[in-house]
Amino acid sequence: MATINEKISEEIRAQARKLLEAKEVEAFLGYCQGSLPMTARPFVARTPEDTDKLVWNSFCVLNLANYLPALLKSLEPPRGPRDPAPEGPLPRAAILATGCWSRNIVIQIQENQVDRDRVVICGIASRGMVAQAKVKELFAGREILKVVEEDHKLLVSGKGFSEEINRWSVIRNNCLTCIHPDPVMFDVRIGEEGGQRKSDNRFADVEEIENKSAAQRRQWFEEEFASCIRCYACRNACPLCYCPTCFVDDAKPQWVGKSVDQVDTSIFHILRAYHCAGRCTDCGSCESVCPMGINMRILTKKLTSDVLNLYGSEAGLALDSPLPLTTFKQEDPQDFIITEQPADKGGE
């Protein structure tokens, strides 16, 4: 019997073939099988024949929205920076989108990086993606050569061993606390509708750190980010990072040093997280691609939790609700402003 993911893969291929054959889209952005166990590779199908390579499994950890603005740009006929836009509708692209990816597409549309009319969103309810690092940790010291996925378990095998593990036990942390697995916006649905998921306290890990003393938090931060090698994989995997020149590449002024000095690394991570404030959808790409296993998602999650507490909104849930930092209310809290603290104003 076919597993859920096999059925979804079939549907994806059929849908992609249909769209490409009807010339509705020029490209279909999905996933193909990776070359190593537990990997899937982002893949652009451009002809109906290409669509046979498309797959869907629990290892699609990269956020496909990351590739969307550049893909759409590449489909446009070439023109110089001052040439007028070509007449008539521009070529379109289709993209697979789970809950968080679709929210990122909403954000890209709101930030004018993507034209809604040029994308066909194929929504899939996410069942949570597997954290490769968690599986590798379970099989520390043994080389995993093959992983076969079933609905609720993974069959992991290598030289001289073959074991079965529970799929949910190795799901990524951000998927464990996700409450929006279902796409918020889509043109075509693939697979079955995903119900609303609940999480008792999705900010538990943030609160754990908030409850520490300042000295402990400082120590935690320095230890957590000490191993960073500044490869910028977290930035490259992030669908929010589309600036033509990133602040880390600026030379004049140089906001952040190029070394792996603890100070440079701290500034990089503070600013990287801050640039995602009110925009991050907790898709977990940054964490999944980190070669050092740094939990940098906690910083963006802290910002998400603050935005929710202070301004009561979350990014990318609907096209017509503005991003939290592009709007304001007159009565926004301002108790951190020193001139607004009555106690500190002395006799006034």
Partner 1 sequence: MEPKKNWEPKIIAFLCTWCSYAGADLAGVSRFQYPPNIRIVKVPCSGRISPNLILNALNNGADGVLVSGCHPGDCHYISGNYFARRRFALFDNLLEFIGIEPGRVNFSWISASEGEQFAEVVKEVTAKVKKLGPATRLVKKINEAA
Q: Render the burial of 226-260: b for 16+ CB within 10 Å, e for the rest.
A: eebebebbbbebbbbbeeeebbbeeeeeeebeeee
Distance CA 207, CA 269 (A): 19
Among 100, 307, 314, 315, binds partner 1 (CB under 8 A): 307
Q: Which is nearer to partner 1, 1 or 343 (CB)?
A: 343
Q: Which is nearer to partner 1, 139 or 247 (CB)?
A: 247
Q: Which is nearer to partner 1, 195 or 244 (CB)?
A: 244
- Name the segment binding partner 1 (CB under 8 A); options: 44-52, 90-98, 167-175, 323-331: 323-331
Minimum separation from the CB atom of position 50 to partner 1 (A): 42
| Residues contacting 253, CB < 8 A, separation 6+ | none
Task: Locate 47 and state its tokens.
Answer: 């002809």
104: nearest Cα among 298, 323, 255, 336: 323
Burial class of residue 300 (count of CB atoms within 10 Å of its CB; 0-12, 13-18, 19+): buried
Reduced 3-state DSSP string for 83-136 = CCCCCCCCCCEEEEECHHHHHHHHHHHHCCCCCHHHEEEEEECCCCCECHHHHH
Q: Is 338 in the site for partner 1 (CB under 8 A)?
A: yes
Q: Is 218 in the site for partner 1 (CB under 8 A)?
A: yes
Reduced 3-state DSSP string for 240-276 = CCCCCCCCCCCCCCCCCCCCCCHHHHHHHHHHHHHHC
Among 145, 274, 291, 318, binds partner 1 (CB under 8 A): 274
Count of residues touching partner 1 (by CB under 8 A): 48
Residue 162 DSSP one-character state: E
Minimum separation from the CB atom of position 204 to partner 1 (A): 15
Q: Which is nearer to partner 1, 119 or 256 (CB)?
A: 256
Q: Is 299 in the site for partner 1 (CB under 8 A)?
A: yes
Q: Is 219 in the site for partner 1 (CB under 8 A)?
A: yes
Q: Which is nearer to partner 1, 40 or 206 (CB)?
A: 206
Task: Locate 326 and state its tokens.
Answer: 């592009």
Q: Render the burial of 175-190: b for 16+ CB within 10 Å, e for the rest.
A: bebbebbbbbbbeebb
- Write out the H or E segment, with its range, that includes residue 69: helix 68-75
Q: Is 141 in the site for partner 1 (CB under 8 A)?
A: no
Among 73, 79, 152, 217, binds partner 1 (CB under 8 A): 217
Distance CA 262, CA 224 (A): 11
Q: How many residues does the chain have?
A: 348
Q: Which is nearer to partner 1, 133 or 325 (CB)?
A: 325
Minimum separation from the CB atom of position 211 to partner 1 (A): 11
Q: Is 324 in the site for partner 1 (CB under 8 A)?
A: yes
Q: Around Cβ 193, how many Cβ atoms within 10 Å?
A: 9
Q: Is 336 in the site for partner 1 (CB under 8 A)?
A: yes
Q: Which is nearer to partner 1, 146 or 212 (CB)?
A: 212
Minimum separation from the CB atom of position 234 to partner 1 (A): 16
Q: Is 208 in the site for partner 1 (CB under 8 A)?
A: no
- Name the segment binding partner 1 (CB under 8 A); options: 129-137, 149-157, 285-293, 307-315: 307-315
Among 257, 295, 308, 319, binds partner 1 (CB under 8 A): 257
Which spans of this chain sit near partner 1 (rule: CB under 8 A)?
A: 209-210, 214-221, 247, 253, 255, 257, 261, 263-264, 266-267, 270-271, 273-274, 277-278, 299, 302-303, 306-307, 310-311, 324-326, 328, 330, 332-334, 336-340, 344-346
